Amino acid sequence: MNRHERRRQAAVQRQNGFFNNYVRHLPEVGPEVLGRPRVSHVVFCHDDWCRIYEGRGCNCDPDVRFFAEPQRS
């Protein structure tokens, strides 16, 4: 595996790790939460073959999902 393939694989793993370890456990909401005074996450899940992992422009149709932080006391 050459350097470019290793960097691409690392980028894919970073995206998957953030989603699987943190965001996946938050409640999923619709796009109407944007602009409201609470913390929300917009997650773009790119396809594995997308050029964004090569540092170039996106050439896939990413899955866009919205997650909200729960109310903290």
Q: Tokens representing 12? A: 């894919």
Any domain includes 51:
yes
Any domain includes 43:
yes
Number of domains in the chain: 1
The predicted structure's pLDDT at residue 31: 78
Q: List, edge to edge, every strand of the sheet that includes 63-68.
A: 28-29, 63-68, 40-45
Domain around 32: 3-68
Any domain includes 73:
no
Question: For 4-40, how does the pLDDT look when each residue is reduced to its tens digit (9 = 90+)?
Answer: 888 888 887 887 777 778 777 788 888 777 777 677 7
pTM of the model: 0.57
Any domain includes 58:
yes
The predicted structure's pLDDT at residue 59: 92
The predicted structure's pLDDT at residue 52: 83
DSSP state of 60: S
Instruction: Tell me what the mean pLDDT of segment 39-50 comes to.
Output: 83
